[in-house]
Amino acid sequence: MSDTDSKTTRDRFRLLLDQANNRVVAGGLIVVLLLLPAALNAFWTRIAVGALMWIGLAQSWNMIGGYAGYLDFGHGAYFGIGAFAAGITMTTYGLPFIAGLSVAAIVCAIVALGVGIPTLRLKGAYFAIATWAFAESMHELALILDITGGTFGMSLPTGADAIILPLSGPPTEMFFYYVMLALAVGTTVLAYVLFERSEFGFRVKAIRDNEDAAQTLGINAERIKRQVYVLSCSIAGLFGAANAFYITFIHPNDVLASILTDQMIIMALLGGLGTIAGPIVGGISIFMLDRMSSLFLGTSTLYLPMIGLLIMLTVLFAPSGIIGILRGEVGLTEIKDNVSELADKFNFTR
């Protein structure tokens, strides 16, 4: 058996193993996730709920930003619109949580369609600023409207009757864990099927890589961009609704804050843009880093600049994110090359 032969056989075998592995790993992971709350106390369950939410949100941004290449800087607006849509459904109309969730998704889809049709004609920085301005204006609007509670915000019902499920007592951390788990796994599977395993995904990536070329190949870019945008925004709305019921108090300064969008982008980018695993890894690591620092460091705020520094270093030296490092795309040699390239830029005589 020659050397090359053994290599290909090994590679084939490894590929086979990888595929089998992927399924086993995914299956195993889901079982673990389903059983996880049994091993956690209420506090750690809450942390898991937060991590799941951010995985889903980062994944939803990744759909429009990572796969379609449209830098949505106003994605957080839909988190807030979903939160208030659910809040109004549940308080003003006294409907249960499931109605709040559905209304949030529908309202976000309608708004995203209306906003998306004109805004998606813009590209690059123009699209980024337009979506940012849209999100900021939604924040300001929520502060002056009456139905959102204006600057006083809104408290949601906390009682048992808000969930029409055979559960006794008010919703617990466990309940929200499974809600967020369903949403996050659903979002991830949907993203995987749509963007990695279907023709739709190839079209979306073709638009990202070269929109004009894609169009000449007969891809209806307008329609596909719109579909991705509406889908990703409705998902953000669903998470907004679930979070609103979970936190019980929503305020425009919290659920419509621009920091939400920033966080989603950073998670997707640091994890690895345009990949399924990226937002999962990025979502968990950034959320944990931030939340654990604020809860366990007592009174120090030193973690805030450190997170900023981490973002800068990642963009500088590992632009394909943590996934890039794990896949071996970014190793020591790449970082060394990066550093020497960077040093070159400091040569001001060039």
Partner 1 sequence: MASLTGCTGGSGSNSDRETFRFGIVTSLSGPLRYGGQVTKRGYDLWKNRINEDGGIEVNGNRYEVEFTYADAQSDPSTGADATQKMIDNEDVDAMLGPYSSQVPLSMGPILDQNQMPCITGSSESPELWRNQHEYLFGTIPSVNVFVGDVVEMLLSFDPSAETAYITGVNGPFSKSAAQGMRAGAEAAGVEVLGYELYPADADRSSIISEAQSAEPDVHLNSGNIDSNATFMASAQELSYEPNGVFQHYGINTPGYKNAGDAAAYTFGATLWLPQAGRSGGQLWGDSQTYADQFQAEYDKLPEYTEAASSATGVVYQEALAELGAEPPLTGDEQTQLISILEEITVDTFWGTIDYESEGENYHNNITTNPLAIQLNEDLDPEIVAPADVAETEPTYPIPSWSDR
Partner 2 sequence: MVSTGLLTQTLINGLLLAGIYMAVGVGFSLIFGVLEIIDFAVGQYVMVGAFAGAALAPILGSEALLAVPFVFAAFFVVGVFVQPLIHHVTTGDRPMPLLMGLVFTFGLARFIRGSVLTIAGPNSRDVPTSIAVGSFSIPSIGTFPMVRVATALFGVAALAGFLYYLYRTEGGTAIRSVAEDRDISRLMGVNINRYQSLSYGAYAAMTASAGVFIGMVYSASVGMGMQYTGFAFFMIVLAGMGYLPGIILSGLVLGIVQSLTAVYLGSEYVFFILFGLIWVLLLVRPTGLLGKGEVA
**Quick one: what does residue 296 bind among partner 2, partner 1, none, with the CB cut-off 5 to 8 Å set by partner type?**
partner 1
Q: Which string of x and - marks every residue 309-348 that binds partner 2 (by CB under 8 A)? A: xxxx--xx--xx-----------------x--xx--xxxx
Position among 304, 326, 331, 336 found at the interface with partner 2 (CB under 8 A)? 304
Q: Would you say 75 and 131 are in contact if contact means Cβ atoms under 8 Å apart?
A: yes
What minimum distance in Å lies between the beta carbon of 12 and partner 2?
30
Comparing CB distances to partner 2, the nearer of 125 and 147 is 125
Comparing CB distances to partner 1, the nearer of 6 and 172 is 172
* Structure tokens, 9: 């056989």
Residues numbered 223 to 282 that lie near partner 2 (CB under 8 A) are 258, 262, 265-266, 269, 273-274
**Quick one: what does residue 19 bind among partner 2, partner 1, none, with the CB cut-off 5 to 8 Å set by partner type?**
none
Phi-psi sector, 321: left (phi>0), alpha (psi -120 to 50), beta: left
User: 194 burial class (0-12, 13-18, 19+ CB within 10 angstroms)?
Assistant: middle
What minimum distance in Å lies between the beta carbon of 5 and partner 2?
34
Total site size for partner 2, rule CB under 8 A: 57
- Give dist(CA 236, CA 59) in Å, integer: 9
Backbone angles phi, psi at 155, to 5 degrees: -100, 135
Comparing CB distances to partner 1, the nearer of 17 and 141 is 141
What minimum distance in Å lies between the beta carbon of 140 and partner 2?
4
**Quick one: what does residue 247 bind among partner 2, partner 1, none, with the CB cut-off 5 to 8 Å set by partner type?**
partner 1
- Give dist(CA 186, CA 151) in Å, integer: 34
* Structure tokens, 186: 């659903």
Helix/strand number for the chain, H first, E second: 15, 2
Strand partners, 98: none
CA dihedral 94, 99, 105, 111 (to 10 degrees): -40
Comparing CB distances to partner 1, the nearer of 296 and 346 is 296
Nearest residue to 244 (alpha-carbon basis) of 144, 136, 154, 145: 154
**Is 297 near partner 2 (CB under 8 A)?**
no
- Give dist(CA 214, CA 72) in Å, integer: 21
Q: Would you say 252 and 80 are in contact if contact means Cβ atoms under 8 Å apart?
A: yes
Position among 45, 60, 89, 119 found at the interface with partner 2 (CB under 8 A)? 119
* Structure tokens, 328: 């071996």
State the residues that interact with partner 1 by CB under 8 A.
41-44, 46-47, 50, 140, 143-144, 150-153, 155, 158, 170, 172-173, 243, 247-251, 253-254, 291, 294-299, 301, 304
CA-CA distances (angstroms) from residue 278 to 262, 264, 274? 16, 11, 7
What minimum distance in Å lies between the beta carbon of 114 and partner 2?
12
Task: Say which residues have a Cβ less than 8 Å from residue 121's Cβ, sequence separation at least 6.
Answer: none
Comparing CB distances to partner 2, the nearer of 163 and 270 is 270
User: 248 burial class (0-12, 13-18, 19+ CB within 10 angstroms)?
Assistant: middle
**Is 210 near partner 2 (CB under 8 A)?**
no
Position among 15, 20, 106, 144 found at the interface with partner 2 (CB under 8 A)? 144
Task: Say which residues have a Cβ less than 8 Å from residue 175's Cβ, sequence separation at least 6.
Answer: 163, 167
Backbone angles phi, psi at 249, to 5 degrees: -130, 125
**Quick one: what does residue 31 bind among partner 2, partner 1, none, with the CB cut-off 5 to 8 Å set by partner type?**
none
**Is 140 near partner 2 (CB under 8 A)?**
yes
What minimum distance in Å lies between the beta carbon of 121 and partner 2?
8
- Which residues of this chain interact with partner 2, rule CB under 8 A? 65, 69, 71, 73, 118-119, 121-126, 128-130, 132-134, 136-137, 140-141, 143-144, 258, 262, 265-266, 269, 273-274, 300-312, 315-316, 319-320, 338, 341-342, 345-350
